[in-house]
Amino acid sequence: MKNLLISGEIGIGKSYMLKNLLEELEMSIGGYTSGNDYDADGHHVFIKSLNDFHQKKNVAYIFSGKDIFSATISKEVFDEFGTDLVAYSIENREITVLDEIGIIEKDAEAFKKQIVKAFDSEKLVMGVVKNRKNEFLSSLKNRKDTKTLFLTGNNGQEIYQEAIQFLKNNRARFKSKKAHHWKQNRINMYEKALEYHSAQYPKNFLDRIYAACGDMADKTWLDIGAGTGAFSLELAKKCRKITCVDSSYNMLLNLSSKASRKNIDNFEAFAIPFSSFEGQQYDFVLSSFSGNALGIKENLDKFIDFAKEKAFIVSPFNESQHNFKGDVLEGRLGRNIKSFAKDGNAMMDYLSKRNLKFKADEIKYDFPQVFNSMEECFWFFKEFYHIEKHEEEILKAFIEENLVETERYYVFENLKSALLIEIKK
């Protein structure tokens, strides 16, 4: 079995489970996802490319109060655009996502044939399929090479673990336990911090980058570890085009949605480990807190070689503060305090050995986390630091000591500093 389908009733959480499964993996992802855009009269149903997280086309329109069977359907969009998305992913990605397979495409014969080709291929296919009586859907769910999991309201954890075992059986590559796993609730907290009025991240870094690069109207950028686009979407406003790379499927979905809301269309994004990324050269390249990606010398060399003019790296260094006084909390918990092993100082030593021209500046910035309630704050830290039941009282005391109440929010200050390394080619 090499194809995985999740089925269940409407609103049960099929796509949510698929997203969380994909977030666990360290593999290149393509295919398509779907969604709705609402207006005064009803809503468009669209499919969006996961090959670049950018291309998007409407496939149907449903008037408010009408059943899906009365939708106005653009069969040719399925047969051309949708078919191309699936074919490209099978050829160029390790995992092809089909989210979702339903009934409005029932007359799109070319699209359905391409889905069958995807299932017949040697590549891993993961998708969501509607729980409807339909000959085509049944033919997919009943294939001998396909595992179909049925999600109900009370078997989520069981189904999730069964899906994980399926992926392990198919030799899927998983992120390390130390890597960030960005589920939507954690992304929402990160976005709330970015939007807080006193947040100086990424502004303090971008101001220096703008000054170093001058007019960027005709320039291209590569941003690795782009996340939800904190840097990328600001740079996109000033450059010709930006390419975003991240191994987090969920982060790039959020980047794509933000770009649509902000009417930013000069971007492309790839859910792929940087070590597997193959691209052209770019005028400028950026890596901001991109995990361990540049801790590997081969990746650092590759990153620098992508730049025509300059490469920028935002990195912690030995004197950096932990997020949210984490060293204080973990000390009280009796844990080993994490160190910045692959930090900016080690990186600068390596750049010197390569005889590269660079300069490094310490940038100070405030990046507080804001909460609507004490309960939300407790949940956030419990998740962030993997707090056990016996550690909760220590966490509560730590929060009460550091949390500041304002008119609208509870605020946990997060005064930090990092290196901005500018490498000249």
382-423 per-position pLDDT tens digit: 988 899 999 999 999 999 999 999 989 999 999 999 999 999
Cα distances (angstroms) measured from residue 424 to each of 48, 308, 316, 362 = 37, 9, 20, 18
Q: Check whether the bond before 202 is cis (ω within 30° of 0).
A: yes
| Contact criterion met (CB below 8 Å) for 240 and 219 | yes
Instruction: Find where tokens 């006084």 sit.
Output: 325
| Contact criterion met (CB below 8 Å) for 377 and 324 | no
* Of the candidate ranges 180-189, 233-242, 290-299, the one whose mean pLDDT is the lowest: 290-299
Q: How confident is the model at residue 342 (pLDDT cuts 50, 70, 90)?
A: low
Q: How confident is the model at residue 317 (pLDDT cuts 50, 70, 90)?
A: confident
Report pTM.
0.94
Regarding whether 94 and 55 lie in a shared domain, the answer is yes
Q: Check whether the bond before 393 is cis (ω within 30° of 0).
A: no
Q: Mean pLDDT across the stretch 321-340? A: 86
Regarding whether 139 and 210 lie in a shared domain, the answer is no
Regarding whether 301 and 336 lie in a shared domain, the answer is yes
The answer as to whether 176 is a domain residue is no
Among residues 105, 135, 169, the one where a domain terminates is 169
Among residues 119, 146, 169, the one where a domain terminates is 169
Q: Which two tokens stand for residue 62?
A: 């449903």
Is the model's pLDDT at 189 over the cut of 70? yes
Average pLDDT, the chain: 94
Regarding whether 124 and 96 lie in a shared domain, the answer is yes
- pLDDT, residue 88, reads 98
The answer as to whether 179 is a domain residue is no
Domain of 190, in residue numbers: 184-424
Q: What angle do CA 66, 69, 74 make, to 5 degrees?
A: 105
- pLDDT, residue 292, reads 72
Q: What CATH number does the domain containing 93 carry? A: 3.40.50.300
The answer as to whether 48 is a domain residue is yes
- pLDDT, residue 402, reads 96
Instruction: Find where tokens 């050995």 sit.
Output: 353
Q: What CATH number does the domain containing 384 carry? A: 3.40.50.150
| Contact criterion met (CB below 8 Å) for 395 and 329 | yes
d(CA 269, CA 262): 16
Q: How confident is the model at residue 335 (pLDDT cuts 50, 70, 90)?
A: very high
Among residues 140, 169, 198, the one where a domain terminates is 169
Q: What angle do CA 350, 355, 361 make, to 5 degrees?
A: 65
Regarding whether 205 and 149 lie in a shared domain, the answer is no
Regarding whether 194 and 113 lie in a shared domain, the answer is no
Is the model's pLDDT at 158 over the cut of 80? yes
What secondary structure letter does DSSP report for 79?
I
Domain count, the chain: 2
Regarding whether 263 and 147 lie in a shared domain, the answer is no
Is the model's pLDDT at 212 over the cut of 80? yes
